[in-house]
Amino acid sequence: QQLNEQVVRGNGAKERNGGSKLKLRQLADPHEFEHWEKLVRAAEAQEGGLGRNSSPQAIAATRDTYDRFLARFPLFFGYWKKYADLEFSIA
């Protein structure tokens, strides 16, 4: 869970504040797709976008976000593809 906080917060101060709000919204209403979608986008955008040179913490936190998102919404095949593409790009 601590890694997920790092994902949500990102690198800058504005992202930290906005990320905390995203996390709180998602926790307050775990069935609200829009909050989850914003959380996934924030995770993908950290460090300017994840790639081979991304920190292990950022990669682990993004994986955790996707794992929790897809556990909640397992039939959203587009996000499974995005997750697979992300894994390919960091391999």
For Cα atoms 72, 12, 19, give the angle at the middle one, nearest 5 degrees.
Answer: 25
What would the pLDDT profile of 28-57 be if each residue is shown by its tens digit? 677 888 889 999 999 999 999 999 999 999
Number of H helices, E strands in the chain: 5, 0
Question: pTM of this prediction?
Answer: 0.73
What would the pLDDT profile of 15-30 be if each residue is shown by its tens digit? 344 456 766 666 667 7
Helix (H) or strand (E) segment spanning residue 50: none
Rounded Cα gap, residues 19 and 5, in angstroms? 8
Best CA proximity match to 10, nearest among 52, 61, 71, 64? 61
- Determine contact, residues 29/39, Cβ cutoff 8 Å: no
What share of the chain has pLDDT > 70, as a percent? Answer: 69
